[in-house]
Chains A and B, each alone.
Chain A
Amino acid sequence: MAKVKIKLRQEHIDIIKSICKKFDYKPGELINVLHQVQGEIGYLPAEVQELIAEELKIPVSKVFGVVSFYSFFTMQPKGKHPISVCMGTACYVRGAESILDEFQRVLKIGVGETTPDGKFSLTSLRCIGACGLAPVAMIGDKVYGRLCPDDVKKIIAEYND
């Protein structure tokens, strides 16, 4: 109804514009654009989606429709140490649920949330293909395998200095 003012940091504007340009502003490249922008900025807040919509000349509702459809995209900034607990079947039958529960309990956050200090965020994901090590969790790029709930506190302590 009314003109909406959208504020963005200059560097983010530059990143988004150059990525959209790289994909020749094609609406069909939306998912590729979102991947790259999230790769650069870390997440896809509303303002970022607005600018992508503007650049690709598609409705922002469609951009959000896509962002909210795919679990890979996030509108929340991830923690400094993003934790992903594998909930693939192999990990599930070897007790992944209790690992995830323990992470939630120790960090006092739910799945998809970030600790208030921004240090840890917790997500579950589907099979990273390390089924031989089940149950598995990843912190950043580091994989922790053959976990039991007891290990959770120790692992978090590694990052809590």
Chain B
Amino acid sequence: MANYKYHILICGGTGCRASKSGEIVQNFKNILKQENLDNEIQVITTGCFGFCEKGPIVKILPDNTFYTQVKPEDCEEIVKEHFIKGRKVTRLLYTDPEKKEHVSDSKHMNFYKKQMRIALRNCGFINPENIDEYIARDGYAALAKVLEQNDPQATIDIIKKSGLRGRGGGGFPTGLKWEIASKNPADQKYIICNADEGDPGAFMDRSILEGDPHSIIEAMTIGGFCIGATKGLVYIRAEYPLAIQRLQIAIEQAREYGLLGKDLLGSGFDFDLELRYGAGAFVCGEETALIHSMEGQRGEPTFKPPFPAQEGYLKKPSNVNNVETFANIPVIINKGWEWFSSIGTEKSKGTKVFALAGQINNVGLIEVPMGITLREVIFEIGGGIKNGKKFKAVQTGGPSGGCLTEEFLDTPIDYDNLIAAGSMMGSGGMIVMDETSCMPAVARFYLDFTCEESCGKCSPCRVGNKRLCELLDKITSGKGTMEDLENIKNLSQVIKDTALCGLGQTSPNPVLSTISHFWDEYVAHVVDKKCPAGQCKALKQYIIDPEKCKGCTACARNCPVGAIKGTVKNPHEINQELCIKCGTCQAKCKFGAISVQ
């Protein structure tokens, strides 16, 4: 066996793979072979490091060098400089945006400093396709412990005491959920993992499955043992081919090791896993809809009760948890509930993974202890707003959440505070918006999403959200009235009050929160017929300032619809009738002569 002195970890998450990280892996392997170093330096594809903004990421251990935005052609230089000459390739190191200094160790980066990785503990650290690496990190030790103890209730109690709550959105206490399912007797029960991540802008579940699939297998087995289920099902998005592949490999490996199948670790407990594929329906994140979908039906939610714990998959008691929730389980058992419950706030324990995105410098996947403030997340971890613009709002909780303003920046993040602020935790999407984002337009974007994803079963969601979307369309196109705003408010409230499932009940949140925090902006659209953020196409005009225009013709040449007329060296003019407000002219103008009104 080779005695490796160095490990090169290369992010194999979807984001980095999109930027050719696969090619980087191959190049490293080839070059190391040429240089006869392939027995000393090991190349490992890992899961996501989280710092997607700067991907592809290449990390070198043991000296913990963190190279960012690596291109396949950089591999040779890294090998020659870093390994052969022992010099770091400074141009690929992360540059601190404030101090303008290179930082080589990820621990010193603001992005990682405040993070605490529990669910993501193995992501970007182990090779997800190698069960041995998982075992070496105490993998399956929690399962062994649980099986040896042979007391499901004791394990349920640990989870209950840890204070772990569902990470998929609702925040229901996980231990309690398991307890209810464990107390419903049945000849067959099911434990189900909801991996149908549908929030547009959240990808933590995918990252965990891609980076640490065994943690889910282990946790589901533990859950199965606790509730008395011998069968586990993972409902996974078909649009996640890599996660599916890694999970399948992991399941195979676990079976080969006897960690799935019959008589696990000599305990007499049988457990196995199967995959079920989602097919592109956000509503299937709702557990009853998910179950119907797994049964081969339309993913329509049904009224609860009966809860899945009473009557779930194939009418048998079932327990549904999401990926991130499961990822916490083995750690809690290994390190104890006391340790876990010492992290976080009074009612929200542990950490939460957020997908940080939007107009922010450091886009990526982060895991932070509950109770951290939005300010810390956005300005320290996230590195602040892109291009030095002003912070306007942050949207949490995806289509079910709301927009929070500056006044909430110092609120500690947990389930209850977010709800109190008019938003919610949701699955952990966190979209930061700057002054150029128009709030009514953002609300419309989310409503558009809800309309498209509504199953159509109940009238408030089927028709109500459609009408809400149409009303917001009216507002953003400058045709709204004050009466429309009143109707929007009433309709939102009624939908919240009457919709059948969580999707419908929370769908007006983006509207209600923006209306309450950005009322003036709505009124500006209605009364002044202006979009203060300059985003609403129907309400803006591109105007060429004849003073500044040098007649370079760049705008006219680039206008996709030929709406700009003018002769060389003479001021140009935009035909507003033809203009599609794409903004190309403004981007092309070197003289800053084109402005939006």
Q: Which residues of A contact B (CB under 8 A)?
A: 26-32, 34-35, 62, 65-66, 69-73, 87-90, 92-94, 98, 101-102, 105, 125-134, 136, 143, 145, 148-150
Contacts and interface: CB of A to CB of B under 8 A. Distances in A.
B282 A31 contact: no
Contacts of B431: 89-90, 93
Contact of A132 (B55, B201, B359, B442): B55
A125 B278 CA distance: 14
B296 interface: yes
A129 B200 CA distance: 9
Contact of A101 (B295, B358, B449, B582): B582
A70 B276 CA distance: 14
B238 A72 contact: yes
Given A72-B280, A88-B201, A129 B582 contact: no
B359 A94 contact: yes
A134 B393 CA distance: 19
Contact of A89 (B18, B239, B395, B558): B395
A143 to B, nearest CB: 3
28 contacts: A28-B296, A30-B297, A31-B279, A35-B277, A35-B279, A66-B297, A70-B278, A71-B280, A89-B395, A89-B431, A90-B201, A92-B200, A92-B445, A101-B580, A105-B560, A126-B282, A126-B449, A129-B13, A129-B15, A129-B207, A130-B52, A131-B15, A131-B52, A132-B52, A132-B53, A132-B363, A133-B18, A149-B584
Contacts of B216: none
B279 A70 contact: yes
A32 B277 contact: yes
Contacts of A66: 296-298
Contacts of B583: 98
Given A89-B398, A150-B584, A131 B277 contact: no
B128 interface: no
Interface residues of B, number: 61
A129 B363 contact: no
Contacts of A89: 200-201, 357-358, 395, 398, 429, 431, 445-446
B281 interface: yes
Contacts of B262: none
Task: With a 10 A CB-CB cut-off, give which of B314, B363, B452 has the most chain A CB atoms.
Answer: B363
Given A31-B296, A70-B281, A149-B584, A131 B18 contact: no
A52 B455 CA distance: 24
A71 B281 CA distance: 7
A101 B363 CA distance: 25
Contact of A134 (B206, B238, B357): B357
Contacts of B433: 93
A35 B200 contact: no
Which of A28, A88, A145, A150 has most chain B Cβ within 10 Å? Answer: A88
Interface in B40-62: 51-55
Given A89-B431, A98-B583, A31 B277 contact: yes
A149 B299 CA distance: 36
